Amino acid sequence: MGKLGLLFRSAGWSAVRAVSCAASLGAVLVWGLVPSAAQATSVQRARTVPVPSYTYVHDPSMAKEGRTWYLFSTGDPSGLVNGGDIQIRESTDLRSWHLVGTVFPSIPAWITNKLGPIPNLWAPDISYFNGRWHLYYAASTFGSNTSIIALATNATLDPKSPKYRWVDDGEVFSSSATDDYNAIDPALATGPGGSKWLVFGSFWSGIKLMRLDAATGKPTSASPKLYSLSEAPSPDAEEGAYLVAHGGYYYLFVSAGYCCKGIGSTYQTIVGRSADITGPYLDPNGAPMTEGGGMELLGSSQGMIGPGSPSVYVSSSGDLIVYHYYDAWDNGDPWVQVRRLYWSSSGWPVTGPPMVPVPGSPLAAG
């Protein structure tokens, strides 16, 4: 999880520093609410005007509905875009992304009541089951494990649909300063028999997994069993995990190293696999990920520094991996990247070329 987040430019859209955009952002974002005081949960509908001069993304998660791709990402830490709420973008080609709104008009009050003032929400994960879209996301402060994983649901991802309503389903799980784990960077996984699981974690004691009730999308008990999937030596710089099934194995993708430092970022994406969703996860050399193992899948190259916070889109026409990185050609500004994800004859993932060359690089110019 990129816990601070930075500025980003997608293909055809120019990013600028947040300080230069405060006035224009406040003028162009328009929101409408449809809440009911009698309702137990908050139901909200967003309308927006795209903001071509400013885009911000970190920790991307992607889904497709109809012919449109939707990208969810960490909220703006400056608070300029709806108080730092989870951002949503659309694309029809996976190359040019257009801002279309945020999940809520602002951070839900129950979160700030529990955590105090926070600048933004983090690391969304979008998935579809039980006839609804489920968006898991996190709330915390940088360097703290007093954290919350929360859930929002919707019948559709299309903001133009009359059925478009994000429902605030509240808290899923939390951690405190007395815990040895950190409840951020959630990602849904499907296990045996369609069972639902949530992988999460950042620093502290690494990556954890817990089972969910498939009907509610929340833990099966008030004190769910936590499985340790991946851990590195102190300070245990692993986070932003994702689980996907393929060819009889479960593959665990993990962001190892440090994000949010521009061209000084050391993020890389590593992977291990297991025959059981609860582990153990091993790399090709048989090293357990709970003992610092993991095969590098994505490292810094072609001007893309610190690639991490991956999520995988699985489909019959081919798998995709989406992640953020820092542009070596442009002061370390973060960008989003999508690649094809292939599988070798030995069953290990291999990434294809980037769909969009790093803007500003000779490859992009040529």
How many residues are there in the chain?
A: 366
3-class secondary structure per residue, 293-308: CCEEEECCECCEEEEE
The secondary structure of residue 23, as a DSSP letter, is H
CB contact at 8 A, 258 and 266: yes
What is the CATH T-level fold of the domain 18-365, as seen in this structure? Tachylectin-2; Chain A (2.115.10)
CA separation for the pair 109, 38 (Å, rounded): 16
Say whether 76 is catalytic.
Answer: no
The number of helix segments (H) and strand segments (E) in the chain equals 3, 22
pTM given for the model? 0.87
Q: Which residues, given as ranges, of the chain have pLDDT below 70?
A: 1-56, 365-366
Domain ranges of the chain: 18-365
CA distances to 1, 52, 56, 63, 338 from 12, in Å: 26, 9, 14, 21, 15
Q: What is the pLDDT of residue 7?
A: 32
Q: Point out the catalytic residue in the list 59, 85, 168, 330.
A: 59
**Nearest Cα to 89, choosing from 336, 300, 309?**
336
For 257, the 3-state DSSP assignment is coil
Say whether 330 is catalytic.
Answer: no
Strand order in the sheet with 268-274: 238-246, 249-256, 268-274, 295-298
Q: What is the distance between the terminal CA atoms of the chain, rounded to a whole angstrom?
A: 33
Q: What is the pLDDT of residue 82?
A: 87
Query: At residue 153, what is the residue type?
Result: T
Q: Point out the catalytic residue in the list 85, 90, 239, 330.
A: 239
Q: What is the pLDDT of residue 326?
A: 87
- Measure the CA angle with vertex 172, ends 56 and 4; round to 5°: 25
Q: What is the pLDDT of residue 264?
A: 95
Q: What is the CA radius of gyration of the chain?
A: 19
CB contact at 8 A, 42 and 56: no
- The 10s digit of each residue's pLDDT in 174-217 is 999 999 999 999 999 999 999 999 999 999 999 999 999 999 99
| Phi (first) and psi of residue 227, to 5 degrees | -105, 135
